[in-house]
Amino acid sequence: MESTRNDDVIVIGGGVVGLTTAVVLAERGLRVRVWTRDPVERTTSAVAGGLWWPYRIEPEARVAAWSLRSLAVYQELARRPAETGVRLVDGVQGQSRREELGPWADQVPGLRAATPEEFAGTGLWARLPLIDMTTHLPWLRARLTRAGGVVEERTVTALAEAEAPVVVNCTGLGARELVPDPQVRPVRGQLVEVENPGITTWLAAIAPDGEMAYFFPHPGRLVLGGTAEEDAWSTEPDPAVAEAIVRRCAALRPEIADARVLAHRVGLRPARDAVRLERESPRAADLEPGRVLVHNYGHGGAGVTVAWGCAEEAAGLAFPAA
């Protein structure tokens, strides 16, 4: 294997947070290598529904800044949807009111109360980035390559294996064992992909049975969700859960009931009470003195939402003067 000692940075983790962080660093002129256990297309990020929305992620003030910075980037990327996988799509957050959200909501263009025609109940209408991860992750990898970065498939068992002056830990759920950080835990999400019966808007709402349901129109398919099972580790789709997801979504849009199922997906969101985005002493991680370690993990189901804001902050922590 080629020596990595000539790299300025090794980013561990090839999901959306790791790749975005690597892109930011590489485009600042640094020599960046990404180590990813799984191919980019098989990371947890590949299973994400892809809607921009600060969902189940703390701390609130920092998340607001990260989210809004990412929103600005996605709005620009949406100018080239076929290339980047990012589109701006109208939809409704059901059972939501503006006063229940933080100040960040004032900076979301067009956010308003949904009309009765748009949603039968209280909800918020918004035009938000919807990211097709099957396109976006390969695009990030290609952008990194153009900037001189390298992606390698490699399993890491200790942070000290990354022999570079700067190491950025974007391992998500893997941080539970690698750091180790027992605060990181899985929140299992199951999705069903179906043929789109003509739905052009997204919806996230409480279904009549009291459970959460959502559907997101992506190119060539409609993604249905979802679940949020705490501390569940199984990545095998559960047929009963899949049936319940379709039933709940069909209760909101009846035409979904007869849509042909294309695929079943499961992802384990890397949840933590608060995102860990900080610089740590090399000694605490058994790294050689003089090296830099930055942690950027624990984003739960909102990694897409905060990816660019977190990436830029991580880059600033790694290279304060860059």
Is the pTM above the cut of 0.85?
yes
Write the pLDDT tens digit of every residue in 169-201: 999 999 999 999 999 999 999 999 999 999 999
- Quick one: pLDDT at residue 288? 81
Residue 44 assigned ligand-binding role: yes
Query: What separation, in Å, do the N-terminal and C-terminal C-alpha atoms of the chain show?
Result: 29
Phi then psi dihedrals of residue 281, to 5 deg: -60, 130
Write the pLDDT tens digit of every residue in 6-52: 799 999 999 999 999 999 999 999 999 999 999 998 899 999 999 99
Rounded to an integer, what distance in angstroms lies between the CA atom of residue 46 and that of residue 205? 23
Residue 269 assigned ligand-binding role: yes
CATH of 1-87+129-183+273-322, one of 3.90.1330.10, 3.40.50.720, 3.30.200.20, 3.40.190.10: 3.40.50.720
pLDDT above 50: residue 296:
yes
Residue 300 assigned ligand-binding role: yes
pLDDT above 90: residue 290:
no
Residue 36 assigned ligand-binding role: no
Residue 48 assigned ligand-binding role: no
Residue 22 assigned ligand-binding role: no
Tell me which residue of 272, 9, 312, 27 sits closest to 148, measured CA to CA: 27
- Cα dist. 44→25, 39, 172, 207, 276 in Å? 22, 10, 9, 26, 18
Domain spans of the chain, in order of start: 1-87+129-183+273-322
Tell me which residue of 256, 294, 297 sits closest to 278, measured CA to CA: 294
Residue 301 assigned ligand-binding role: yes
Residue 305 assigned ligand-binding role: yes
Q: In the 3-class helix/strand/coil scheme, how is the chain assigned residue by residue? A: CCCCCCCCEEEECCCHHHHHHHHHHHCCCCCEEEEECCCHHHCHHHHCCCECCCCCCCCHHHHHHHHHHHHHHHHHHCCCHHHHCEEEEEEEEECCCHHHCCHHHHHCCCCEECCCCCCCCCEEEEEEEEECHHHHHHHHHHHHHHCCCEEEECCCCCHHHCCCCEEEECCHHHHHHHCCCCCCEEEEEEEEEECCCCCCCEEEEECCCCCEEEEEEECCEEEEECCCEECCCCCCCCHHHHHHHHHHHHHHCHHHHHCCEEEEEEEEEEECCCCEEEEECHHHHCCCCCCEEEEEECCHHHHHHHHHHHHHHHHHHHCCCC
Residue 134 assigned ligand-binding role: no
Average pLDDT over residues 308-316: 98
Residue 304 assigned ligand-binding role: yes
- Quick one: pLDDT at residue 5? 41
Write the pLDDT tens digit of every residue in 203-245: 999 998 999 999 999 999 999 998 999 999 999 999 999 999 9
Give the contacts of 32 (CB within 8 A, at least 6 positions apart).
Answer: 7, 8, 9, 10, 11, 22, 25, 26, 144, 147, 148, 149, 150
Decide the pairing of beta strands 150-153 and 32-36.
parallel
